[in-house]
C-alpha cells in the first residue's frame, strides 16, 4: 500500500499525528532561539544566564517526561491532547505576560515540556501504535509536521517581525494552533484509550527500559544524531570558521537540511516497512557518516553542506526507525512508556552535550577534532547496538 492509499484511508488519524508534530515547533530549540534576545530582555537575563536557565528547564522537562509521558498508554488520546494543548498555551501566556523572571521561566519550561516533549510524543506514539503493516510510512508522513515547521516558520517569523512584536507573534501562532486543533478535538477520528491505568499496588508487568540491557544497548545509536546535530547548531559560528566556510553558507545549507528531511522521511518510512526497522537501523546513518568524512577530510563549504544535508537525510528517517524498532522489540501496548523514556534521554543528552562540547573547544580542540570524536561515537554506538538488532525480536523472525 502506497502513501496515496494511506492518506485516503487514514486521513483523520494522520492529521492528528501531523498536527501534533507541527505544534511541537512551539517548543523546539530553533523556534525559541529566534526570540532569545527579546525573551532575555523581558526576563532581565544576560545571554549566559538565559543559556543556563534554558538548559535547566530543559533537564526538568526531561524528568517530567519520564513521569507524565507513559500516561498516554492508558489516557484517552483526545484527553491527552487537550491537556497538553491547554498547558502549552498556559506556558506561552506565562512566558509572554509575566513581569517576574521566575514565572517567565516556568512558562518557558511548560513550552519546552508540552511543545518539544509531549506534542511530539503524542504524534509519534499515535502513528506508531495505531498502524501495523504501514507503521513506517505513517510515521514518515506524521514526521513531516516537524519538517514543515522547521522550513516554513523561520522565514515567516522574520518577515512578520517587521510589523509585529515578539509577544504578538507568539500569540498569533497560538491562535493559529487553537484554530487548527478545535475541529480535530471536536470531530476528529480519535482512537480509544489503549489500556487501563496500572494498579500501583501490583507488581509492575510492563517494560522498565532503564532496567533492560537491550534499551541501554540501543540508546547510543538512537541518540548520536540528535546529540551531535545539536552541537553543530549551537556552535555554528566556530564550525564555519574552522572549516573555512561562512555563516551565509551555513544558512543556505540549513535550508538544504530541511529539504533533505523530506526524502529521508518518505523513503525511510517505505524502507522500514519493506526491510524492517532492524536492518534500517544498521543503514540509516550512512549519509551522516559520509558527511562527517567529507567535513573532516575536505572541509570548506562542501563540508558544511554535507553535514547539513547528510544529517537531514538521517534525521528524516530516524523517527520511523526508532519507533518501529521499539514496537518490534517490546510491543505496542507500552509504546508510550518506551517513547517517553527515549525522549527524556534525548532531552537530557541534548541539554548536557553543548556544555561538554563547549569545554572541549575551550580546551583548544579544533572543530575538525570534534567531528572526528563525533564519528568515533557514532561507530561505537552502532557497534554496541548490533547484538540487539540481531535478535529474533528485532528482526521480526
Condensed to tens digits (0 to 9), the pLDDT of residues 212-245 reads 888 999 999 998 988 888 788 778 878 888 899 8
How confident is the model at residue 338, as a pLDDT?
85
H helix runs in the chain, sequence order: 3-9, 11-23, 29-33, 36-42, 47-68, 77-97, 101-111, 120-130, 135-160, 166-187, 213-234, 236-242, 247-275, 277-283, 286-297, 300-330, 335-362, 367-389, 392-395
Question: Under DSSP, is residue 276 helix (H, G, I), strand (E, B) or coil?
Answer: coil
Domain 211-397 maps to which CATH number in 1.10.3720.10, 3.50.50.60, 1.20.1250.20, 3.40.640.10?
A: 1.20.1250.20
Q: Do domains 1-187 and 211-397 have the same CATH topology?
A: yes
Whether residue 396 is predicted with pLDDT greater than 80 in this model: the reply is no
**C-alpha distance from residue 102 to each of 45, 72, 105, 293 (Å):** 11, 30, 5, 44
Q: 306, 254 in Cβ contact below 8 A?
A: no
Question: Under DSSP, is residue 156 helix (H, G, I), strand (E, B) or coil?
Answer: helix
Quick one: average pLDDT of 286-306? 93
Query: Residues of the chain with pLDDT > 90: what percent?
Result: 24
Q: 394, 221 in Cβ contact below 8 A?
A: no
Which residue has better confidence, 82 or 142? 82
Q: 339, 64 in Cβ contact below 8 A?
A: no
pLDDT band at 295; cut points 50, 70, 90: very high
Q: 276, 328 in Cβ contact below 8 A?
A: yes
Number of Cβ atoms within 10 Å of the Cβ of 201: 5
- Cα-Cα end-to-end distance for the chain: 22
Give CA–CA dist 223/255, Å, rounded: 23
Q: 313, 285 in Cβ contact below 8 A?
A: no
Q: 310, 288 in Cβ contact below 8 A?
A: yes
Look up the CATH superfamily of 1-187: MFS general substrate transporter like domains (1.20.1250.20)
Distance of CA 161 to the CA centre of its chain: 26
Give CA–CA dist 222/382, Å, rounded: 9
Whether residue 273 is predicted with pLDDT greater than 90 in this model: the reply is no
**C-alpha distance from residue 60 to each of 28, 80, 193 (Å):** 15, 20, 27
Give CA–CA dist 109/112, Å, rounded: 5
Return all residues near 57 (Cβ < 8 A) that are at least 6 apart: 105, 108, 109, 112
Number of Cβ atoms within 10 Å of the Cβ of 37: 12
Whether residue 360 is predicted with pLDDT greater than 80 in this model: the reply is yes
Quick one: average pLDDT of 22-36? 83
Query: What angle is formed at CA 73 by the lines to CA 127 and CA 193, rounded to 5 degrees?
Result: 80
The DSSP result for 19-78, as a single string, is HHHHHGGGGSHHHHHTTHHHHHHHTT--HHHHHHHHHHHHHHHHHHHHHHGGGGGTS-HH
Whether residue 96 is predicted with pLDDT greater than 80 in this model: the reply is yes
DSSP state of 100: S
Q: 278, 394 in Cβ contact below 8 A?
A: yes
Kindly list the domain boundaries of the chain, sorted by start residue. Answer: 1-187, 211-397
Give CA–CA dist 337/58, Å, rounded: 19
Quick one: average pLDDT of 40-46? 82
Number of Cβ atoms within 10 Å of the Cβ of 387: 13
Whether residue 196 is predicted with pLDDT greater than 70 in this model: the reply is no
How confident is the model at residue 202, as a pLDDT?
53
Give CA–CA dist 257/316, Å, rounded: 9
In this predicted structure, which of 111-125, 192-206, 363-377 has the lowest mean pLDDT? Answer: 192-206
Mean pLDDT score across all residues of the chain: 84
C-alpha neighbours within 13 Å on the C-beta side of residue 141: 24
Whether residue 167 is predicted with pLDDT greater than 60 in this model: the reply is yes
Amino acid at each position: 500500500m502506497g502513501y496515496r492509499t494511506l492518506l485516503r484511508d487514514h486521513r483523520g488519524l494522520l492529521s492528528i499525528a501531523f498536527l501534533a508534530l507541527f505544534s511541537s515547533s512551539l517548543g523546539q530549540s530553533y523556534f525559541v532561539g529566534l526570540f532569545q534576545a527579546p525573551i532575555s530582555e523581558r526576563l532581565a537575563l544576560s545571554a549566559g544566564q538565559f543559556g543556563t536557565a534554558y538548559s535547566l528547564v530543559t533537564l526538568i522537562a526531561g524528568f517530567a517526561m519520564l513521569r507524565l509521558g507513559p500516561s498516554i498508554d492508558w489516557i484517552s488520546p483526545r484527553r491527552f491532547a487537550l491537556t497538553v494543548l491547554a498547558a502549552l498555551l498556559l506556558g506561552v501566556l506565562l512566558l509572554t505576560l509575566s513581569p517576574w523572571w521566575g514565572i517567565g521561566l516556568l512558562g518557558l519550561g511548560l513550552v519546552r515540556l508540552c511543545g518539544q516533549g509531549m506534542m511530539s510524543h503524542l504524534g509519534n506514539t499515535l502513528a506508531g501504535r495505531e498502524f501495523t503493516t504501514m507503521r513506517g510510512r505513517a510515521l514518515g508522513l506524521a514526521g513531516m509536521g516537524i519538517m514543515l515547521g522547521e522550513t516554513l516558520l523561520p522565514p515567516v517569523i522574520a518577515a512578520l517581525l517587521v510589523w509585529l512584536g515578539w509577544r504578538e507573534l507568539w500569540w498569533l501562532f497560538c491562535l493559529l494552533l487553537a484554530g487548527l486543533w478545535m475541529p480535530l478535538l471536536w470531530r476528529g477520528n480519535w482512537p480509544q484509550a489503549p489500556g487501563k491505568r496500572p494498579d500501583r499496588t501490583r507488581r509492575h508487568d510492563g517494560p522498565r527500559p532503564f532496567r533492560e540491557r537491550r534499551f541501554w544497548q540501543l540508546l547510543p545509536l538512537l541518540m548520536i544524531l540528535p546529540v551531535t546535530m545539536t552541537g553543530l547548531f549551537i556552535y555554528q559560528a566556530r564550525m564555519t570558521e574552522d572549516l573555512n566556510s561562512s555563516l551565509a553558507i551555513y544558512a543556505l545549507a540549513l535550508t538544504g537540511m530541511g529539504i533533505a528531511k523530506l526524502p529521508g522521511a518518505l523513503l525511510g518510512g517505505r524502507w522500514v516497512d519493506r526491510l524492517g526497522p532492524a536492518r534500517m537501523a544498521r543503514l540509516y546513518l550512512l549519509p551522516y557518516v559520509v558527511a562527517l568524512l567529507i567535513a573532516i577530510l575536505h572541509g570548506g563549504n562542501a563540508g558544511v553542506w554535507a553535514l547539513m544535508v547528510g544529517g537531514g537525510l538521517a534525521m528524516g528517517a530516524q523517527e520511523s526507525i526508532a519507533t518501529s524498532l521499539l514496537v518490534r522489540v517490546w510491543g505496542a501496548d507500552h509504546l508510550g512508556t518506551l517513547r517517553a523514556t527515549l525522549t527524556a534521554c534525548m532531552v537530557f543528552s541534548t541539554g548536557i552535550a553543548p556544555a561538554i562540547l563547549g569545554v572541549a573547544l575551550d580546551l583548544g580542540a579544533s572543530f575538525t577534532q570534534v567531528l572526528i570524536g563525533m564519528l568515533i561515537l557514532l561507530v561505537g554506538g552502532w557497534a554496541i547496538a548490533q547484538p540487539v538488532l540481531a535478535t529474533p525480536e528485532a528482526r521480526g523472525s
